[in-house]
Amino acid sequence: MRVVVTGAAGFIGSHLSEYMLAAGHELVGVDGFTPFYGRDAKEANLEGPLSHDDFSFVEADLRSADLSEIVRDADVIVHLAAQPGVRHSWGDQFEVYTGHNLVATQRVLEAAVVAGVPRLVFASSSSIYGSAETMPTPEDVRPKPISPYGVTKLAGESLLHAYSHYGLSTAALRYFTVYGPRQRPDMAIRRFLTSAMTGASVPLFGTGEQRRDFTFVSDIVAATAAIAEGDMEGPFNIGGTNPVSLNELFDTISDVLGRQVNIDRQPALTGDPPSTSSCVQRARDAFGYEPKVGLTEGLTAAADWLEDVLIRDAEVSSV
């Protein structure tokens, strides 16, 4: 199968690329190296895929490139590329989010139709649910995003529905709080682990009793690959199914590392839901989804990777 992965140099995209290549697929990775975080980290993410004979890479801005030529002859597009982050999506930055999360998504969908690609899988987010009252939250709960980022992800799903009228088979994966090796520097678990490892203070917005359905990246990748290889359509929640409070997360980090997170408590932020919890029954019924990596195991893997990153960064800064 020929697969196009957008955002291939990113956190999830690089892991998915390696997984799909190991499964025997031919893969075209696309990334625009947007400046949300350092290019060097993204290039490091690509080292594994680039060593594979069945991988080719295209650096392209999805908002302006000739995408129909890039995706031509693909059996499926997995559209992961996006402008991430709830907290950065307010104010003047919203224009950046509409460009990368709406304009780019529409252009990828248009290219799929023009090039005759039969299927597209879209990375959505649990942020579309906002402060959902039903816990665990199933896919048929009415989405009510409470952040501009969540709004752009829900709009992306609406674009999928619109383009399905051209005969394009689509699925939207609503990821719940993904973590693991190669996390972006702004992501919560990476910041908390860094604090415990270095002693640096890290802000905690709110009481710490807000709960999150943390999902390890390998579970996200396995589910995404299963959807890409299949013909299932519509929205699917992909979560860890065992929400914990941030205070419980800090305790687990302390158990894993033997050191505490240095917390600077701050007022809660607008757009931050009090709790997230995934109902994954639809994914379970469709392709047997079951998260396999628990929080302690996942934090250990993330910490091992981050320790190597911190050592490498220290060596570079000392030169």
Residues annotated as part of the active site: 149
**From CA 220, how far away is CA 291, in angstroms rounded?**
8
Q: What is the DSSP letter of 138?
A: P
Tokens 């594994």: give the residue. 48
> Is residue 278 within 8 Å of residue 240, measured between CB atoms?
yes
**From CA 205, how far away is CA 165, in angstroms rounded?**
43
Could you count the other beta carbons within 10 Å of the beta carbon of residue 106? 17
**From CA 25, how far away is CA 17, in angstroms rounded?**
9
Any bridge partners for residue 6, and if so which? 30, 79
Could you count the other beta carbons within 10 Å of the beta carbon of residue 74? 24
What are the φ and ψ backbone dihedral angles of 67, each rounded to 5 degrees? -75, -25
Rounded to 5 degrees, what angle do the CA atoms 281, 282, 288 make? Answer: 75
How many helices (H) and strands (E) the chain has is answered by 12, 13
> Is residue 108 within 8 Å of residue 82, measured between CB atoms?
no
> Is residue 49 within 8 Å of residue 21, measured between CB atoms?
yes
Total residues belonging to the chain: 319
Best CA proximity match to 163, nearest among 110, 123, 125:
110
Amino acid 244 reads V
Residue 314 backbone class (left: φ over 0; alpha: ψ -120 to 50; beta: rest): alpha
